[in-house]
Amino acid sequence: MRITSIVASALALVAASAFQDTSPFIFFSTSEILATSPQIASAASLTSTIRAELRKCPSDVYLIVSQPGVTAIDYRSQQSTPYLRRWVSGEDKHVRSSFTVSEVLGEFDTTALVSTLEQQCGAGKLNVDASTGLFDIVNDLKPRIIMVDFPLLPVGAERFTSSRTNDLFLSNLLSIIPSPNYTVVYTTTPATSVNQHTTMEPSMYEMDKTMSPLVHMDLKRDLMIHPRASGNGSNSTSLPLFERYQYFTPGLFMGLLVGFLLLSILYVAISGVSSLQVSYAAFDRENGPAAQKKQQ
247 or 118, greater pLDDT: 118
Q: Has residue 102 got a pLDDT over 80?
A: yes
Q: What angle do CA 45, 185, 65 make, to 5 degrees?
A: 120
pLDDT at position 95: 92
pLDDT at position 252: 83
**CA–CA gap between residue 199 and residue 155 (Å, rounded):** 8
Name the maximum alpha-carbon separation found in the chain: 138
21 or 104, greater pLDDT: 104
Q: For strand 61-67 and strand 97-105, is the pairing parallel, antiparallel, or unpaired? A: unpaired
Q: Has residue 115 got a pLDDT over 90?
A: yes
pLDDT at position 5: 45
Q: In this predicted structure, which of 7-16, 148-157, 225-234, 250-259 has the lowest mean pLDDT?
A: 7-16
pLDDT at position 182: 94
Q: Has residue 209 got a pLDDT over 70?
A: no
pLDDT at position 281: 65
290 or 82, greater pLDDT: 82
pLDDT at position 141: 75
**pLDDT tens for each residue of 151-168:** 888 888 888 889 999 999
Is residue 63 within 8 A of residue 148, CB to CB? The reply is yes
Q: 130-134, 195-199, 274-278: which has the highest mean pLDDT?
A: 274-278
**CA–CA gap between residue 196 and residue 20 (Å, rounded):** 10
Q: Pseudo-torsion of CA 137, 138, 141, 142, nearest 10°?
A: -110
